[in-house]
Amino acid sequence: MITMEEVQTKCVTIFKTLYSRMHKQVGFYLIWIVLHFICAHLYTKMCVPLTFTGFMLSPLVTMNPMCRGLQWVTYNSLLVMSNMWIAIGTWITTNLLFTTYEALK
């Protein structure tokens, strides 16, 4: 019979292993997610305000360097997040396919 302490020990070991292997990747993607969130909101507030004046000036304002930079960060963060989900799906699939279970032996 498996005790609760053994389960806790195994969970802690798994968590430590995952953390040691993935903390840099998680930090990298977390930075891109935060950048995307901030830049998307800044772009809508500063480059295309929801006013008549904002509507009239949007062709001029959206071409300034700040708005172009916000567009660049937003676009590239979308690409990074898309690739993040592909990488996560690949990692999960690989681990499920190549995992051997002691109970099945």
- Establish how many alpha carbons lie within 13 A of residue 76's alpha carbon, considering only the half-sphere containing its beta carbon: 10
pLDDT tens, residue by residue, 40-93:
999 999 888 889 998 898 888 889 999 999 999 999 999 999 998 998 889 888
CA torsion angle 9 11 16 18 (round to 10):
150
C-alpha closest to that of 80 among 45, 23, 19, 34: 34
Average pLDDT over residues 15-24: 74
Please state the length of the chain.
Answer: 105
Domain extent listing, the chain: 4-104
Q: Which residues contact 57 (CB under 8 A, 6 or more apart)?
A: none
Residue 81, token pair as written in the block: 């997040």
- Count CB-CB contacts under 10 A for residue 52: 8
Q: Quick check: 103 pLDDT over 60?
A: no
d(CA 46, CA 63): 12
Q: How confident is the model at residue 33 (pLDDT cuts 50, 70, 90)?
A: very high
Question: What pLDDT does 13 receive?
Answer: 82
Prediction pTM value = 0.68
Q: What pLDDT does 9 receive?
A: 84
More confident residue, 100 or 47: 47
Q: What is the pLDDT of residue 37?
A: 95
